[in-house]
Chains A and B, each alone.
Chain A
Amino acid sequence: GAGVSQSPRYKVAKRGQDVALRCDPISGHVSLFWYQQALGQGPEFLTYFQNEAQLDKSGLPSDRFFAERPEGSVSTLKIQRTQQEDSAVYLCASSPWDSVSGNTIYFGEGSWLTVV
């Protein structure tokens, strides 16, 4: 399909392991967001890209979290030295616009991370 694609869909990591989560946004979309959704909670903002520029990373919980979008399309969220509290669904969203008001944001199905 032409939606936002995320991989892997499910990942089990041992505590201390590094993980990388990939997002393929809708082709041509300028804006890309990462959100973290803990069980029973709403999504929480992590970071925002406009093309290849990371304009807002205020939601990244620690310096173990790192995101990149080097060519302005595919993005990777990397978590180093995973801890149990990192267990969550990581949602990627994209939008065709650079000024995003909320009605044009499309979410992927998420990457489910479990840290054991």
Chain B
Amino acid sequence: QKEVEQDPGPLSVPEGAIVSLNCTYSNSAFQYFMWYRQYSRKGPELLMYTYSSGNKEDGRFTAQVDKSSKYISLFIRDSQPSDSATYLCAMSLNYGGATNKLIFGTGTLLAVQP
């Protein structure tokens, strides 16, 4: 079983829809939670970053972390065709100075239809 599980999709929605993307994880020591967006043939770019449990909002994007359920979500409101990409969840531990490598989910491919 992978440390981080993510539904690979693909997910197709009409423009303007609310999109919900989710990941579950097994390691309760994870403390940093991120969502990356990756366009085709490009590197991942950081979209949202959350430390520990709670919600964070940035424009049309909201990230939620529920550590008790080991579940994180990304919501995209008023989705646009330009949001079409692969969305990767990622997590890391807090070793305080040691390697904080990122553990990624498999990514969810999202297509927003105009």
By beta carbon, the residue of chain B nearest A4 is B43
Interface size class of B (residues with CB under 8 A): 20 to 34
Instruction: Mark each residue of chain A from 22 to 46: 1 if its CB lies under 8 Å from any CB of chain B, else 0.
Output: 0000000000010100001111110
Is the pair B104, A48 in contact by a Cβ cutoff of 8 Å? no
Counting CB contacts under 8 A, is B112 at the interface?
A: no
Most central of A40, A56, A107 by chain B CB within 10 Å: A107
Assembly CA distance A105 to B49 (angstroms)? 11
Interface size class of A (residues with CB under 8 A): 20 to 34
* CB under 8 Å from chain B, chain A span 91-109: 91, 93, 98-103, 105, 107-109
Assembly CA distance A55 to B106 (angstroms)? 26
Instruction: Mark each residue of chain B from 84 to 114: 1 if its CB lies under 8 Å from any CB of chain A, else 0.
Output: 0000101010101111111111110000000
Is the pair A103, B103 in contact by a Cβ cutoff of 8 Å? no
Instruction: Mark each residue of chain B from 35 to 56: 1 if its CB lies under 8 Å from any CB of chain A, else 0.
Output: 0000001111110010100000
Counting CB contacts under 8 A, is A16 at the interface?
A: no
* CB under 8 Å from chain B, chain A span 44-103: 44-45, 48, 55-56, 59, 91, 93, 98-103
Is the pair A109, B97 in contact by a Cβ cutoff of 8 Å? no
Is the pair B46, A48 in contact by a Cβ cutoff of 8 Å? no
Assembly CA distance A113 to B34 (angstroms)? 27
User: Could you write out 20 A-B pairs with CB less than 8 Å apart?
Assistant: A33-B101, A40-B106, A40-B107, A41-B106, A42-B88, A45-B101, A45-B102, A48-B101, A56-B98, A91-B44, A100-B99, A102-B90, A102-B92, A102-B100, A102-B102, A103-B46, A105-B102, A109-B43, A110-B41, A110-B42
